[in-house]
């Protein structure tokens, strides 16, 4: 990570030294000082950039208050640990350098070379990952379980899933699953957020007879989310956020124990204790949310899904690009003497031409994928795709044929329908 951040750091140092000259309307120039105020990213990236252990499971600690994960159930600390006098080099470490020390620090953060920056004052919490894709999901799971176990008007598991999935949200419908005493909502962060805030609408009758503690947990969380989402907060709001965060964890732990739910107080849930203090340090939380950047991130996710590669999508993209270039280069050089002109050949023709099954290394492109992106041939439209079962090769000319079926996309959102065999 430090290697990736190095060019950014060098640029920032130059900016710190020279500032930016801004021309005013009267023609005079003002030199504006520049400094790093904060970085916005998810929890994993925060820990990676700051040099902390990238784990939130057993044995991990909250870098904000140094509480161990095992103590999240009982800890109600709101304050943030002051790292202003802590550097990676000054901390006592076990003998092996790669092992984390008591603070969970594993590596140095090079951004601390910048003026006024320490590992505790540049990372505001990210509401989108903590609340929308974290706490809210767990509170929904607890509330839905309470609805199922309610003494009056209890709903069956299927009735709950049915109501949730058929409720028309502004951002479309969500899907719900139930496994090991846990309801899981599938959808985008925004859908989960809307679903949570409208949960009382979805279960209008049942909510009024749900047990008091679960209702109170939901109400506290909804109020906390509203307060945390404000673009300006005063002293009273922050006091209320501190109070609510403690109440939420108290009730969450109590309900899970009462209903024998094996739900942990995760880092994301524990972290809401520090939200008010984070607002005092970094300003209103919506300004630090990754929501708008996550939207742009949808494109990269689309590439990952299409290529079925989440580890190194950039590598797959460059490989494909290289293959495509090689292919066009080869086709222009290679002659096509003896090539069969037909677009479609039947089984009899294939037999008479003595086509054999092609091996993966016999083509200038990958023969492993069974779907060709677009069927480019005379008479076929762009929205025809070919599902390949087998590749055949003409041993004399090295011309490659595919055997499979054609699929047609009727409109943008529809699934593909098979149209014919080839």
Which residues bind to Zn ion, rule: CB under 5 A? 62, 64-65, 67
Query: How far apart are CB 14 and Zn ion at their closest, in Å?
Result: 36
The Cα–Cα gap between 393 and 357 comes to 6
Q: How do strand 20-23 and strand 356-357 relate by DSSP bridges?
A: unpaired
In the numeric block, which tokens belong to residue 384?
């025809």
Query: How far apart are CB 264 and Zn ion at their closest, in Å?
Result: 15
Compare residues 60 and 67 and give the one whose CB is closer to Zn ion: 67
Query: How far apart are CB 277 and Zn ion at their closest, in Å?
Result: 10
The Cα–Cα gap between 415 and 422 comes to 20
Compare residues 65 and 372 and give the one whose CB is closer to Zn ion: 65
Query: How far apart are CB 120 and Zn ion at their closest, in Å?
Result: 12
Query: How far apart are CB 270 and Zn ion at their closest, in Å?
Result: 6
Task: Tell me the CA distances in angstroms from 163 to 207, 209, 324, one per residue in order.
Answer: 13, 17, 48
Closest CA to 40 of 288, 277, 293, 284: 288
Closest CA to 103 of 55, 60, 44: 60
Compare residues 61 and 227 and give the one whose CB is closer to Zn ion: 61
Report which residue's Cβ sits closest to Zn ion.
62
Query: How far apart are CB 6 and Zn ion at their closest, in Å?
Result: 30
Q: Are 9 and 84 in contact (CB under 8 A)?
A: no
Compare residues 64 and 130 and give the one whose CB is closer to Zn ion: 64
Compare residues 67 and 288 and give the one whose CB is closer to Zn ion: 67
Task: Write b or e for each residue in 25-39: b if 16 or more Cβ atoms lie within 10 A of its Cβ, otherwise e.
Answer: eeeeeeeeebebeeb
Compare residues 137 and 277 and give the one whose CB is closer to Zn ion: 277
The Cα–Cα gap between 271 and 80 comes to 11
Closest CA to 285 of 43, 40, 37: 40
């Amino acid at each position: 990570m430090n290697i990736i951040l190095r060019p950014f750091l060098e640029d920032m140092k130059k900016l710190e030294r020279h500032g930016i000259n801004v021309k005013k309307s009267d023609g005079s120039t003002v030199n504006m000082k520049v400094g790093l105020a904060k970085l916005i990213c998810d929890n994993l990236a925060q820990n990676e950039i700051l040099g902390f252990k990238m784990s939130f499971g057993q044995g991990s600690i909250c870098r904000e208050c140094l509480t161990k994960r095992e103590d999240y159930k009982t800890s109600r600390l709101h304050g943030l640990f002051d790292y202003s006098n802590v550097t990676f080099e000054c901390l006592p470490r076990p003998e092996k350098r790669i092992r984390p020390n008591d603070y969970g620090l594993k590596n140095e953060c090079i951004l601390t070379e910048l003026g006024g920056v320490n590992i505790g004052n540049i990372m505001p919490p990210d509401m989108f990952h903590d609340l929308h894709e974290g706490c809210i999901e767990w509170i929904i799971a607890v509330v839905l379980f309470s609805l199922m176990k309610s003494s009056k008007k209890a709903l069956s598991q299927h009735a709950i899933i049915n109501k949730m999935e058929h409720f028309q949200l502004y951002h479309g419908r969500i899907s719900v699953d139930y496994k090991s005493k846990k309801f899981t909502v599938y959808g985008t962060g925004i859908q989960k957020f809307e679903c949570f805030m409208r949960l009382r609408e979805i279960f209008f009758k049942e909510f009024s007879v749900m047990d008091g503690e679960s209702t109170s947990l939901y109400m506290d969380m909804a109020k906390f989310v509203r307060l945390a989402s404000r673009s300006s907060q005063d002293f009273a709001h922050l006091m209320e956020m501190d109070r609510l965060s403690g109440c939420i964890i108290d009730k969450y732990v109590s309900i899970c124990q009462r209903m024998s739910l094996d739900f942990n107080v995760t880092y994301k849930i524990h972290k809401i204790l520090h939200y008010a203090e984070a607002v005092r340090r970094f300003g209103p939380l919506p300004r630090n949310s990754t929501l708008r950047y996550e939207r742009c991130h949808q494109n990269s996710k689309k590439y990952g899904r299409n290529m079925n590669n989440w580890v190194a999508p950039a590598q797959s993209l460059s490989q494909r690009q290289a293959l495509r270039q090689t292919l066009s280069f080869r086709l222009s050089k290679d002659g096509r003497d003896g090539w069969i002109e037909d677009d479609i050949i039947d089984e009899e023709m294939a037999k008479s031409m003595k086509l054999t099954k092609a091996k993966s290394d016999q083509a200038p492109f990958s023969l492993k994928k069974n779907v060709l992106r677009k069927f480019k041939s005379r008479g076929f439209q762009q929205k025809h795709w070919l599902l390949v079962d087998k590749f055949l090769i003409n041993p004399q000319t090295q011309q490659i044929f595919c055997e499979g079926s054609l699929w047609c996309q009727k409109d943008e959102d529809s699934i593909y329908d098979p149209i014919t065999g080839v």
